[in-house]
Amino acid sequence: MKSKLTFGLFAAVLVLPVNAFAAVSKEPAAPSKEQLTLKKPSLTIDNSPVNDAKNAVVTSYADVVEPVQKAVVSVYSTKFVHERLPVNPLLRPFLGDQIPERESKEQGLGSGVIVSANGFVLTNNHVIEGADELSVALPDGREFKGHVVGTDPKTDIAVVKIDADNLPTLTLADSDKLRVGDIVFAVGNPLGIGQTVTMGIVSAKGRNNLRLLGNVGYEDFIQTDAAINMGNSGGALVDAKGRLIGINSAIISTTHGNIGIGLAIPVNLAANIMNSLVETGGVTRGYLGISVDPVSPEVAETLGLKKDTKAVVVTAVTPGSPAEKASLKRTDIILSIEDKPITSIQDLRLLVAQISPDTEIAIKIMRDGKEQIVKARLSRLTDEGEINNLLPGVEVTRLTDELSRRLNINNQIGGLVITNVDRNSPYFDRLAPSMVILEINRQSVSDLDSARQLLKPGRNLFFVYNRGFLRYLVVTKDSR
């Protein structure tokens, strides 16, 4: 049986897909300034490692867990569904748009974490997505109406505000300092039975490529064997000091139940997203403008590196991008950014996205066998600039005159040029870099948005220009 990736949103006996509400409802309306006055959350942060002192044998973690429980809340979501009543087909022509409707409620349950005494609650986007009303219940019995401050589906983070002060909070740890084997506790309201604490260890770090958040999501999950079940989503993953290290988000399971593979969003990433949502109402991400591949042992040896070198090699530079302005070139080996090692495509993408636009970054590269530092000033990532995926793993950009000259393409040709095809893409053996897409389903394409709109589930007819030849290709798009 294949494993399934499951979000822990709904409790009790109803098991629904993560986006069950999204197709039939609207996002919660943002409150007006008159309704809700936002003040920047005041976070308590402890950056020291969890094992910075020798501890005696521990026989109970009650003193650690009790304060945590006070700051973990239940988040109830309600959406209103309008359905047309069944009508005799013979009467439809006479009723027109006057067919009667009935309204029903659908309710979901998740968890959340109070991180600021003035009422900011961190939770998952999928916990509140599509809800018309939110209610936040504290362990002490108090209940508040929840206001959505902002959401970021690409990291599955949401910030909810409740109108209260002097609330219990959790201290944030530095999730970058986590080690596999560290003791952790998951706290939430699984299956709606009430607040529950489970214990385990950090099983792995940096889990990505799970496609849990789609092709453009930012995955960097902490894996834990602490039991996480439906309803735990948005709850706290804390260390042995009771500090918040992650927001519980999903499980991998064959049965929709816990089998010891739980996933949490690192608190460093969650706090970064929260601050951006509170301060700007959205998420601003840095953009460098390169395509890269992992450095394989063969590539490493060819470039004069050790076979076990963990780095990425630049395969394409987007014209006019910060990378081009910084004089990055194809075959440059990127070793680190801001002294943080870059060992994979995901490392690069996640790190750059977390740096604010207009920030100058130091990139350590190896070029012609010599290490050097290149400075680049990041621009702002936009939907058009963000790993311009036309299909999963297939990046494209508009074919400009400058690009045509570089690629030695006739300047009469216009369309989208493929800049990179990921090795894991299902289209790796069908599409290739430098191939120009002229038409999709017999319609000309000139930008990414129009190309996406022309794609349909199933078989698509591509008209492409490749190495001096024009040809048709049939490309099958997954219907999911």
pLDDT digits (tens, 9 = 90+) for 164-210: 999 999 999 999 999 999 999 999 999 889 999 999 999 999 998 78
- pLDDT of the residue at 97: 65
> What are the backbone angles phi and psi of residue 137, rounded to the nearest 5°?
-105, 125
* CA pseudo-torsion sign 156, 159, 162, 165: positive
Binning pLDDT at 50, 70 and 90, where does residue 479 land?
A: low
pLDDT at 211 over 90: no
pLDDT digits (tens, 9 = 90+) for 361-381: 999 999 988 899 999 999 888
DSSP 467: T
Lowest mean pLDDT among 52-56, 103-107, 260-264, 286-290: 52-56
pLDDT digits (tens, 9 = 90+) for 242-275: 999 999 999 888 777 788 899 999 999 999 999 9
Residue 404 near residue 411, CB atoms below 8 Å:
yes
Active site residue 147: no
Q: Annotated catalytic residue: which of 74, 126, 253, 332?
A: 126
User: What is the average pLDDT across 335-344?
Assistant: 93
| 395 CB-near residues (< 8 Å, 6+ apart) | 291, 387, 388, 389, 418, 419, 420, 421
pLDDT at 53 over 80: no
DSSP 22: G
User: And the tokens for 92?
Assistant: 């439809």
Q: Compute the 3-state secondary structure of the chain and give helix, strand, coil in percent, each to the nearest 5.
A: 15, 35, 50
Task: Determine the Cα–Cα distance for residues 212 and 124; give it in Å rounded to an integer.
Answer: 13
Task: Determine the Cα–Cα distance for residues 176 and 248; give it in Å rounded to an integer.
Answer: 16
Task: Determine the Cα–Cα distance for residues 76 and 144; give it in Å rounded to an integer.
Answer: 10
- pLDDT of the residue at 95: 65
474 exposure class (CB count in 10 Å sphere: 0-12, 13-18, 19+): exposed
Domains of the chain: 4-48+63-280 (2.40.10.120), 286-380 (2.30.42.10), 389-477 (2.30.42.10)
Other C-beta atoms closer than 10 Å to the C-beta of 202 total 24
User: What is the average pLDDT across 74-101?
Assistant: 74
pLDDT at 445 over 90: no
120 exposure class (CB count in 10 Å sphere: 0-12, 13-18, 19+): buried
- pLDDT of the residue at 461: 94
Q: Annotated catalytic residue: which of 111, 116, 147, 156?
A: 156
Active site residue 135: no
Of 452 and 476, which is predicted with more confidence? 476
Phi-psi group of 351: left, alpha or beta (phi > 0 → left; psi -120 to 50 → alpha; rest → beta) = alpha
- pLDDT of the residue at 56: 64
Closest to 25 measured CA to CA, from 78, 75, 81: 81
Active site residue 291: no
94: helix, coil or strand?
helix
What's the whole-model pTM score? 0.70
